[in-house]
């Protein structure tokens, strides 16, 4: 992939910074400026697999453009807005809302583990995002702490929907057929690892892995190689949350265990059900100095959410 330099402008509009602000297995993200509108943006480039041939690359570009259009229809505060899509030197890119805050992965690394209230609250917000995505027949496929961003007002953004897969698509891409299935083994459901296919219930499994890690500070399964991790995901039962952290409420531990069921049909029926089981634990959310704005600072987002929560509330 060509290296960006200061002053380099995409499509006569998006001026990039000097270095990526994030890298992953399937792409990298640059901070930029939309010079027409004068706003900061995030520009994500897709990275091709090293052994992808021309047919693979063409198919990945086609699929990326198609799914980016679908993703742009997701209207939710927990999904970064999609502004534009383009291509440079054969590399597709996505222009999105720039999200600022701390990733849940970094938050866990800093605090070792999260409080019960914050773990449940973050997971509940993720459920709200998954509910709207799954309703639009989109499955994320790579849900993990590194793809969750906690903003200073407490809002959780779910990143990387640009590589989501439409559930109702029947044309399996050449990229998938050749084995380049996006995902991170430590958070992938058994059926995703075995068959390369993901559904809404696979996202719930990934949410279970993420919730487990937020509560315990440890991954559900760890091993020296991705293959060994994948083998454990498929064949081993996870250690119960309360064995690693006894003060976790039993009812919350049951939610985690249900999400981590090996068979998809044994998991909760959907994100809405999981939200209902989590939201009651999302209380006593302590301040996080240096991460969240102080409670004394008014938050328009929380004001809006609090007012919205009163709609149809039983008297």
Please pick, among 56, 142, 160, 203, the residue that the annotation labels catalytic. 142
> Using CA atoms, how far apart are residues 30 and 20, in angstroms rounded to an integer?
4
CA–CA gap between residue 280 and residue 146 (Å, rounded): 25
User: Could you tell me how far CA 165 lies from the centroid of its own chain?
Assistant: 13
Tell me which residue has tokens 């999260």.
114
HEC profile of the chain? CCCCCCCCEECCCEEECCCCCEEECCEEEEEEEECCCCEEEEEEEECCCCCCCHHHHHHHHHHHHHHHHHHCCCCCCCCCCEEEEEEECCEEEEEEECCCCEEHHHHHHHHCCCCHHHHHHHHHHHHHHHHHHHHCCEECCCCCHHHEEECCCCCEEECCHHHCEECCCCCCCHHHHCCCCCCCHHHCCHHHHHHCCCCHHHHHHHHHHHHHHHHHCCCCCCCCCHHHHHHHHHHCCCCCHHHHCCCCCHHHHHHHHHHCCCCHHHCCCCHHHHHHHHHHHCCCCCCCCCCCCCCCCCCHHHHHHHHHCCCCCCC
* Packing angle, helices 271-278 and 116-135, rounded to 10: 160
Is there a catalytic annotation at residue 142?
yes
Residues labelled as active-site residues: 142
């Amino acid at each position: 992939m060509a290296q960006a330099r200061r002053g380099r402008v995409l499509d006569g509009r998006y001026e990039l910074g000097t270095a990526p602000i994030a890298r992953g297995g399937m792409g990298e993200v640059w901070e930029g400026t939309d010079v027409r509108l004068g706003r900061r943006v995030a520009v994500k480039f897709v990275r091709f697999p090293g052994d992808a041939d021309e047919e693979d690359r063409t198919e990945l570009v086609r699929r990326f453009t198609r799914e980016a259009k679908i993703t742009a229809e997701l209207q939710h505060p927990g999904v970064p807005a999609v502004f534009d899509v383009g291509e440079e030197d054969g590399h597709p890119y996505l222009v999105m809302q720039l999200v600022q805050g701390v990733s849940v992965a970094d938050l866990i690394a800093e605090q070792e583990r999260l409080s019960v209230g914050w773990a449940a609250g973050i997971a509940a917000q993720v459920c709200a995002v998954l509910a709207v995505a799954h309703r639009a027949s989109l499955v994320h496929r790579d849900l993990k702490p590194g793809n969750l961003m906690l903003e200073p007002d407490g809002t959780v953004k779910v990143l990387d929907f640009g590589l989501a897969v439409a559930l109702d698509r029947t044309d399996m891409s050449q990229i998938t057929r050749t084995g380049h299935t996006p995902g991170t083994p430590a958070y992938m459901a058994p059926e995703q690892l075995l068959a390369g296919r993901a559904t809404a219930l696979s996202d719930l499994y990934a949410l279970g892995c993420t919730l487990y890690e937020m509560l315990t500070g440890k991954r559900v399964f760890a091993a020296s190689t991705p293959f060994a991790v994948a083998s454990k995901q498929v064949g081993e039962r996870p250690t119960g949350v309360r064995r690693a952290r006894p003060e976790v409420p039993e009812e919350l531990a049951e939610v985690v265990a249900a999400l981590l069921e090996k068979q998809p049909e044994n998991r909760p029926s959907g994100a809405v059900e999981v939200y209902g089981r989590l939201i009651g634990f999302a209380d006593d959310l302590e301040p996080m100095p240096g991460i969240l704005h102080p409670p004394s600072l008014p938050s328009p987002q929380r004001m809006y959410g609090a007012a919205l929560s009163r709609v149809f509330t039983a008297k």
